[in-house]
Chain A
Amino acid sequence: KAGVTQTPRYLIKTRGQQVTLSCSPISGHRSVSWYQQTPGQGLQFLFEYFSETQRNKGNFPGRFSGRQFSNSRSEMNVSTLELGDSALYLCASSLGAGTGLNEQYFGPGTRLTVT
């Protein structure tokens, strides 16, 4: 069974640009969650999608958005990039909804660097 895949793995963007990250969950998983990981703030929850609906959202500005498609693949978008958005963005999938209920399977992450 293929694991969670994330593309691209590495990305360098300039401040003010926008970026779209992609996540393909494990086949059969309907929940996809996104996290931002930085040395200073640790792991922070961005949002969770279940069956194409945003189920929960973390405390991030509106520049961070996401969506989920009918095949459960998910994208997250960050507009007007800031230097502080440099981070490892992790995607996780699970069978059911609720990151606090289900075992999550994580992808390798996308390392975003904003210059």
Chain B
Amino acid sequence: AQKVTQAQTEISVVEKEDVTLDCVYETRDTTYYLFWYKQPPSGELVFLIRRNSFDEQNEISGRYSWNFQKSTSSFNFTITASQVVDSAVYFCALSDSNYQLIWGAGTKLIIKP
């Protein structure tokens, strides 16, 4: 069965530090999608990235970067030079064979000024 594990329940760093959020997944499917969503204190989840299983290129978007490694079934997310506005809960998710999302438990990121 598919599964997403975000082992870090909560991370606290000081502003401007780099921080990496871990995501490990399990699936037997050869074709699948991985997602990251952000949930700020306001509550609305915000889409960050979608990656398909055939594209292992790392992605960079401003201060955000993602490292996808099929060999270790990981899709980690790094924020460079963190800012207070990055404080949120971050969810990693995996598509199942019906193309529905399986969500990780989330990592609460606290950025201290």
Q: Does B47 lie within 8 Å of A100, measured CB to CB?
A: no
Given contacts A42-B105, A42-B106, A43-B91, contact A101 B45 (CB under 8 A): no
CB-CB < 8 A to A100: which residues of B?
A: 32-33, 35, 93-96, 98-102
Q: Does B105 lie within 8 Å of A99, measured CB to CB?
A: no
Please tell me if B50 contacts chain A, counting CB pairs below 8 Å: yes
How near does chain A come to B9, taking the closest CB pair, in angstroms?
11
Q: Does A103 lie within 8 Å of B45, measured CB to CB?
A: no
CB-CB < 8 A to B94: which residues of A?
A: 100
Instruction: Select the residue from B94, B98, B101, B102 with max chain A CB neighbours within 10 A.
Output: B101
Q: Does A42 lie within 8 Å of B103, measured CB to CB?
A: yes
Interface residues contributed by chain A, number (CB under 8 Å): 21
Q: Does B47 lie within 8 Å of A108, measured CB to CB?
A: no
A92 to B47, CA, bound (A): 11
A74 to B1, CA, bound (A): 30
Interface residues contributed by chain B, number (CB under 8 Å): 24
Q: Does A106 lie within 8 Å of B50, measured CB to CB?
A: no
How near does chain A come to B110, taking the closest CB pair, in angstroms?
17
CB-CB < 8 A to A48: which residues of B?
A: 100
A92 to B94, CA, bound (A): 17
Q: Does A104 lie within 8 Å of B100, measured CB to CB?
A: no
Given contacts A45-B101, A90-B43, 9 further A-B contacts (CB under 8 A): A43-B106, A44-B103, A45-B103, A98-B98, A100-B32, A100-B98, A101-B33, A104-B47, A106-B46
Can you spell out 26 A-B residue pairs with CB atoms less than 8 angstroms apart? Answer: A42-B103, A43-B103, A43-B106, A45-B100, A45-B101, A45-B103, A48-B100, A56-B98, A97-B99, A98-B95, A98-B99, A99-B95, A99-B99, A99-B100, A100-B33, A100-B94, A100-B96, A100-B98, A100-B100, A100-B101, A100-B102, A101-B33, A103-B50, A104-B45, A105-B47, A106-B45
Q: Ordered nearest first, which 7 A-B pairs have the shortest CB separation?
A: A100-B95, A98-B99, A100-B99, A106-B45, A43-B103, A99-B101, A103-B47
